[in-house]
Amino acid sequence: VFFIALITYNEILSMTASIICVLAFNFCFTEPTLSFSFYNKNYIITFLVLLIVSFLTSKLASRIKKSAENSSNMIYITKLLLETNQMLQSKITKSEIIETGCNQLSNLLKRNIKYYDILDNEIQKPLKFCYNSVKDNEISDPEEEKEIVEWAYLHNSNAGATTRYLPEAKYLYYTIRNNTNVYGIIGIYLYKDRLDSVENKILLAILGDMSLALEKEKVIEDKNRANLKIKDEQFKTNLLRSISHDLRTPLTTICGDSDILLNNYKSLTESMKLELFQDIYDDSQWLLNLIENILSITRVEEGRMKLKIEPQIVEEVIDEALKHINRDKRKHNINVDIEDEYLMANMDVRLIIQVIINLVDNAIKYTDEGSNILIKAFKKDENTIIQICDDGNGIRDNDKEKIFRKFYTSNDKISDNKRSIGLGLYLCKIIVEAHGGSIKVEDNKPKGAIFTFNLKAL
């Protein structure tokens, strides 16, 4: 009787075994043997005691077994819930949290799962998570029970199978919520089945963990959005401050030179006039390049810049760029060294010309008069490499990574005599990266700097 109670789950079976064993005792051991009759009436008490003891033994064995089994299940469930909680807390994005939670539920409940995300108060198409041993066709059509999903969302309540609202549905729908905020709706395939108490505890615990993880993700997202807004405002402030600071000098020069020409035109010599006209032109050209850089950065960052990639001869691109370099280039020795006159690369020619102009202007700006500037181009593997080398004072090691940042200039401040708001190199970086390349700066031996960027070769 005890053995049967240990290996079975059914109490009725254990009690039936108790009766059979008492009858077997009567059949085998009481006179007359091998029959169910007996001579001694005292055996009635014996049989009754044996039956009671058998019932009690069976009951106690079943209880011990169920208690051990429940303890084992609780340990298992606690371990799974702890693992689920740790997994959810380690996820960063909303999609990772949803995928982790739904997969855990599907595996623990051994049922198909559907998840409806809520974005801008709109119910999205369901994500489906199928349990391995369950057929995929049990995932119902998204439109089939959409009315139940909408009701659950509007009333912030459970609906579907085993609930008061449309209990004949195939899925049981729970809202994943925190107070009044509904982050999503999860559907558990039941059809005509029900969740037992243990499964229901697992479900509610994991839904609670998912709710907390989604709440945490939302708080982080809101915080990041606020930080982004602050950075955007700082960007606008820095841009206005930098531009207003940097525009003042060339505009003052243009106004002053124009005033001299207007009021003293006849008394000025031709060489003086030419010099004033050249100053006005140079300052205007600098302002034009500044505006072009700002507009290009805005278009690239907002995704409005559509690259027109075409095969181009590198030598022609460099020659065109040098035509737009300011007149200070005559104070420097600029040379071009191209490995092959027919060297070609895929590029948006207008943008790459802007990159070369910015890099050469930068070399002119930060080197002394009479310095040497070399523009090199060669093919390496499947890339066309373009380098702008100078023999100036070079760039400090701690500045090499920073100079490609927006608004960063030498010593991280704006210098009046250099006229730089720290956008030129940043623009070069985002243009080259938009082409699938990269840009870097290295030391030029024995002194100076080398700016190198690569494009896809033909």
What are the tens digits of pLDDT across the range 5-16?
A: 667 766 677 778
Q: With contact defined as beta carbons under 8 Å apart, do 336 and 295 qualify? A: no
The pLDDT of residue 138? 53
Neighbour count for residue 418 (Cβ, 10 Å): 13
Indicate whether 415 pLDDT > 50: no
The pLDDT of residue 412? 42
Q: What number is the average pLDDT over the span 121-133? A: 84
Q: What number is the average pLDDT over the span 403-419? A: 58
Indicate whether 365 pLDDT > 90: no
Residue 65's Cβ-side half-sphere holds a number of Cα atoms within 13 Å equal to 17
The pLDDT of residue 61? 76
Pick from 340, 357, 355, 375: which is nearest to 439 by CA?
Answer: 355
Q: What number is the average pLDDT over the span 182-205? A: 87
Of 121-125, 298-302, 430-434, the poorest mean pLDDT is in 298-302
The residue with greater pLDDT, 81 or 344, is 344
Kindly provide the residue ranges of all beta strands, DSSP E only, lying in 63-112, ordered along the sequence. Answer: none
Report DSSP letters for 333-365, one per residue. EEEEEES-TT-EEEE-HHHHHHHHHHHHHHHHH
Indicate whether 416 pLDDT > 60: no
On the 0-12 / 13-18 / 19+ scale of CB atoms within 10 A, 68 is exposed
Indicate whether 403 pLDDT > 80: yes
Q: Residue 441: pLDDT band by 50, 70, 90 thresholds?
A: very high
* Radius of gyration for the alpha carbons in the chain, expressed in angstroms and rounded: 41
Pick from 389, 275, 289, 417: which is nearest to 333 by CA?
Answer: 389
Helix (H) or strand (E) run with residue 85 in it: helix 43-90
The residue with greater pLDDT, 202 or 378, is 378
Buried b (16+ CB within 10 A) or exposed e, 388-406: bbbbbebbeeeeeeebbeb
The pLDDT of residue 232? 75
Mean pLDDT, the chain, rounded, equals 83
Indicate whether 224 pLDDT > 70: yes
Indicate whether 407 pLDDT > 80: no
How far apart are the C-alpha atoms of 33 and 359, rounded to whole Å?
Answer: 113
How far apart are the C-alpha atoms of 251 and 246, rounded to whole Å?
Answer: 9
The pLDDT of residue 411? 47
Q: Which residue's structure tokens are 């030498």?
A: 410
How far apart are the C-alpha atoms of 377 and 388, rounded to whole Å?
Answer: 9
Dihedral (C-alpha) 388, 390, 395, 400: value to the nearest 10 degrees?
Answer: 10
Count the helix, strand and coil residues of the chain and give each as a percent rounded to the nearest 5: 55, 15, 30
